[in-house]
Structure 1
């Protein structure tokens, strides 16, 4: 891919109740890290780590501090998949390449996130590149490089009872997906997009982002009521790779987590049960 982008780094899921979300995603069979907080910001998080990508549950823990627009976006869209971060090999090289391509970026910006461990506080460090509005449409994309990956990828945090290995795909909704193709080709390269009728698939390393119309979303997930989602554009679903969906289903059953099986054998939750996001599992 262009600009040194290598794939998806992580998903940011906005939640109203951070501790409640921790409990929900634990019932989904995920292992969560201890709680972190963003230095000098209103937000805290729990992360769900995989070998090559991860999920960040983000909520407000200190309302007197700035939140980079999180409360405003939740007031408009509700809970759910709020942003998607891309991974890069080198933040400075990517910043230079983006500027050379005409992007009015901000960064790299240093970010520290104190993390509360039983043995004491540690501080993972990241470098962010903030893209201009519309550069990564619908998914509110930005770029994240880890300066201290060894802190956040402890072996015990990479093992999940539900058997999840990585993020397989995302589904995003737009009125005219085809109109987004040129923008994504500029960011990731001409070979990253596939347009089929009114569906645009953007390939980002091992994870596909599938842009569909509202009508197509209803065909994909007929059991989900339209009023469970905000007006487009928005991100509707995240599907995770597992080794064995039957084993995953047993974990959900044991933990009392409701779900349904689609005709192809994949597992799906109701957005109302999982912080506004349809969560899927497939092998």
Structure 2
């Protein structure tokens, strides 16, 4: 029985050391980047977002050291890249209670917000409630949390959802693991979704037709992506983000991606440490 208040992948957090540099780099891949957002002081972070149809990518950086961003600072001390995965929740308090009752004491909920510049001028507030699974529960080395959007209309702005590369959704999050089956089973327990073998990989659907999470070993990564694409990739954690695009040719042209099979992939060293792969929607 699936969790009642965890509703599929909401977004991925790409932790970066230099927000302005990273925003420019991702804009050069054909994405429309939101204006910079500054979170509530207790979060100590700022971001740029890449809004898709129902999910998104978040470029996140530290602006002040706080207890809330200590895990991300620990991560950035080693490398940049996808540091955690967020799931959508419709009720953060109920979701936190739900996972706690299943033996995973939740951290939170925590409330925070940030101002959002509006296309026609002025600002609106984006507000969120989030809860986290325990910090020692990291399937494949990835932290997970859940995000309740209290002001979706101020985040999914139509002007920010149009991208030169045609991206519309996160299709898969691919994670390197020395034991893919065990990592998939771990995530399965945390979000109560089944783990299924998929060739040499193990797949966990996140729910609600949102992104799947795929776990595999380094050998499989080498088989899936050409050498030039894997340049600069993390040796553990999220190896690739796979996005659906309306137009694969446009995605390749806008991003400078390398075509291989039915995909066009951006080398990891141009996408903050993970391969960025486009596939037809």
How does the TM-score come out when normalised to structure 1?
0.88
The whole-number CA distance in structure 1 between the counterparts of 2:244 and 2:133 is: 28
Note if 1:182 corresponds to 2:180: no
CA contact (8 A) 1:3 1:187 kept: no
Give the alignment of 1:52-71 within 5 angstroms.
Answer: 52-60=54-62, 62-63=63-64, 67-71=69-73
* CA 1:163–1:231: 2 relative to 1, 3 Å: closer
* 1:265 corresponds to: 262
Q: CA deviation at 1:96?
A: 2.0
Q: CA deviation at 1:261?
A: 0.6
CA contact (8 A) 1:113 1:125 kept: yes
The whole-number CA distance in structure 2 between the counterparts of 1:230 and 1:271 is: 8
* 2:44 corresponds to: 42
Q: CA deviation at 1:145?
A: 0.6
User: Which runs of structure 1 show a deviation greater than 6 angstroms over 4 or more consecutive aligned residues?
Assistant: none
Q: CA deviation at 1:112?
A: 1.4
* 2:220 corresponds to: 216
* 1:279 corresponds to: 276
| Two-structure CA RMSD over aligned residues (Å) | 2.1
Moved more, 115-124 or 270-279: 115-124
Runs of 5+ unmatched residues, structure 1: 253-257
The whole-number CA distance in structure 2 between the counterparts of 1:242 and 1:42 is: 33
The whole-number CA distance in structure 1 between the counterparts of 2:82 and 2:92 is: 24
* 2:92 corresponds to: 91
* CA 1:149–1:228: 2 relative to 1, 3 Å: same
* 2:137 corresponds to: 135
* CA 1:107–1:135: 2 relative to 1, 3 Å: same
The whole-number CA distance in structure 2 between the counterparts of 1:197 and 1:242 is: 24
* CA 1:227–1:271: 2 relative to 1, 3 Å: closer
* CA 1:184–1:69: 2 relative to 1, 3 Å: closer
Q: CA deviation at 1:186?
A: 2.0
Runs of 5+ unmatched residues, structure 2: none
User: Number of aligned pairs?
Assistant: 273
CA contact (8 A) 2:7 2:206 kept: yes
Q: Deviations over 1:40-78 (max 9, x none)?
A: 143211001122101100123x345563332221122x1
The whole-number CA distance in structure 2 between the counterparts of 1:282 and 1:80 is: 21
* 1:157 corresponds to: 160
How does the TM-score come out when normalised to structure 2?
0.89
Q: Deviations over 1:70-120 (max 9, x none)?
A: 2221122x1111111001222222122112212111111111123345734
Q: CA deviation at 1:152?
A: 0.7
Note if 1:229 corresponds to 2:233: yes
Note if 1:204 corresponds to 2:227: no
* 1:126 corresponds to: 128
SS in 2 for 1:33: coil
